[in-house]
Amino acid sequence: MRRIFLPCIPAAVLAVTGLAVTGVCRGEDELVRNPDFSRRGDTDIPSAWTVWTPLVKEAACRVRGTAGGLLVDAPEEPFAVGGVVQDLKIQGGTPYAVEAVCKAERLAHPYRSVLVRLTWLNGGKPLEPAGMLARGPIADGPELKFQDVLVAPKEADGAHLALEVKWPEGGSVCWQYVSVRPTAPPPPRKVRIGTVYLLPRSSTPERNMDLFCRQIEAAGRLELDIVCLPEAIRMVGTTKTGVDIAEPIPGPSTERLGAAARKNHLWVVAGLYEREGRRLYNTAVLLDRQGRLAGKYRKVHLPREEWQKGITPGSEYPVFKTDFGTVAIQICYDWFFPETDIAFGLKGAEIVFAPTWGNTLPDKEGRIDGENIFRARARDNGLFLVPSVYNGSSMIIDPMGRILASNQGKEGLFWHEVDLAQRERLWFVGYWRSIGPRDRMPATYGPLLADPAGPTY
């Protein structure tokens, strides 16, 4: 049997992605018994491993040892499931490097179909039923790799390691190596996020820029990493229209905001109106710590107040890499459409900033209003959502839908420090950012991509 040896790299976590990049190493601290699936004699199943099968026996994958590793397939049942498990002895509160290598052939959906799960135990019973999935698989040539650092709860005294194959649809998975061993704890990824609530009145575009640049100055004094300003900051509270204030991007306004970002060494999100040739867009920009234009988002969903004026909709959902994580931007009416944040989440956004005119009002008379829609969008997609508004409350919302900061009727800058390395779990379901994308069924979503055949009311 071919054995896999990868170079050992010191344990680390990439600052932006949070991905553990340790190599597979052998040593006395290895907790997995028979990590490379060696067989003794003519046995089909490698020693120390137990095959798991579903209650519906007809939906079971074939599992057997081969010269290349542990092979899992189901030639006649596309929606088969199966794999192997092993119980490990661990110490509560200890971080563990979890790594695995496999090869897949003719597998249509590797991310959905190949999983490495660690369930923490106390006295042989699961502390949480769903366990934690290791990050992966990541394609590395012909191989798929899993690499992560998971910290055992203090009350854990064991772990249930499962290598799972879900719905191979005619493909196969050959597990070659798996490792669980103590390691250094993953570093936190702290980000100080700010959002602004400020409604100018009887103002001008120039005065508005002064007012909002003062908020950037305030964010700099607090040593924030990023601050979000509202939508159309040069138009609100003035007699001007979007046509009057539209500029090229980059242009004078991004230069002014960029100078404030550079002076205060932080990232800035701000809503502007953009002119490109004959077209106008409602656009939000992202400026980096050096004041450079790092990206822009053009509002995709336009209400009648905009499309009747001739504003052009955007057509893309970009995400942007920063020095602290991956971010995205949506604008106002976008929040009415769940597809917006779904797209950002699937593309890896960790924080979505939302320059918004309005509203994020709390529920009234039992009707769900903006505040709880924003909270649901964050919870549905497992991301932080940061609206900056003129009507309601500017907020910072965590992936569980909790409001971490809110202006609550006051004007100014409001902020909170978050840790992007934390992976809070939903009871029974698990860590949603790892579970939800895998359990999606895109092949069934055809109606979402078609125009309605007629009135829907």
* pLDDT per residue as tens digits for the range 12-31: 333 334 444 344 455 679 99
Q: Which CATH number belongs to the domain containing residue 404 in this structure?
A: 3.60.110.10
The answer on 194 and 172 residing in a single domain is no
Domain end position, chosen among 182, 215, 244: 182
Split into its structural domains, the chain has a count of: 2
The answer on 395 and 371 residing in a single domain is yes
pLDDT confidence tier of residue 39, bands split at 50, 70 and 90: confident
Share of the chain above pLDDT 90, in %: 89
The answer on 334 and 229 residing in a single domain is yes
Per-residue CA distances from 126 to 21, 123, 271 (Å): 28, 8, 47
Q: What is the DSSP letter of 1?
A: -
Q: Which CATH number belongs to the domain containing residue 86 in this structure?
A: 2.60.120.260
The answer on 308 and 247 residing in a single domain is yes
Q: Residue type at 53?
A: T
Say if CB 407 and CB 215 are below 8 A apart.
Answer: no
Within 8 A by CB and 6+ apart from 445, the residues are none
pTM: 0.92
The answer on 120 and 93 residing in a single domain is yes
Phi, psi of 216 (to 5 degrees): -65, -40
pLDDT confidence tier of residue 95, bands split at 50, 70 and 90: very high
Cα–Cα dist 247/258, whole Å: 15
The answer on 223 and 110 residing in a single domain is no
The answer on 360 and 213 residing in a single domain is yes
Mean pLDDT of 173-179: 97
The answer on 287 and 313 residing in a single domain is yes
Minimum mean pLDDT range among 153-167, 277-291, 438-452: 438-452
What's the pLDDT score for residue 42?
67
pLDDT confidence tier of residue 41, bands split at 50, 70 and 90: low
pLDDT confidence tier of residue 259, bands split at 50, 70 and 90: very high
The answer on 199 and 175 residing in a single domain is no
Ranges of H-type helices in 89-190: 110-113
Domain end position, chosen among 142, 164, 182: 182
Query: 186: cis peptide before it, omega within 30°?
Result: no
What's the pLDDT score for residue 153?
96
What's the pLDDT score for residue 142?
87
Q: Which residues pair with 86 in a beta bridge?
A: 161
Strands 326-329 and 351-355: parallel
How much is the mean pLDDT over the chain? 93
pLDDT confidence tier of residue 169, bands split at 50, 70 and 90: very high
The answer on 80 and 207 residing in a single domain is no
Q: If residue 380 lies in a helix (H) or strand (E), which one and from where to where? A: helix 370-381
Q: Residue type at 177?
A: Y
The answer on 271 and 125 residing in a single domain is no
Share of the chain above pLDDT 70, in %: 93
Mean pLDDT of 97-122: 97
The count of other CB atoms within 10 Å of the CB of residue 338 is 14
Ranges of H-type helices in 126-251: 205-221, 242-245
Cα–Cα dist 257/266, whole Å: 11
Domain end position, chosen among 182, 209, 225: 182
The answer on 328 and 291 residing in a single domain is yes
Within 8 A by CB and 6+ apart from 10, the residues are 22
pLDDT confidence tier of residue 224, bands split at 50, 70 and 90: very high
Strands 320-321 and 293-298: unpaired
The verdict on residue 17 lying in a domain is no
pLDDT confidence tier of residue 409, bands split at 50, 70 and 90: confident
Say if CB 72 and CB 37 are below 8 A apart.
Answer: no
Say if CB 92 and CB 157 are below 8 A apart.
Answer: yes
pLDDT in tens, 336-361: 999 999 999 999 999 999 999 988 99
- E-strand ranges in 152-301 read 158-166, 172-182, 190-197, 226-228, 267-276, 279-287, 293-298
Domain of 272 in residue numbering reads as: 190-420
Say if CB 92 and CB 99 are below 8 A apart.
Answer: no
Q: Residue 163 pLDDT more than 80?
A: yes
pLDDT in tens, 261-316: 999 999 999 999 999 999 999 999 999 999 999 999 999 999 999 999 999 999 99
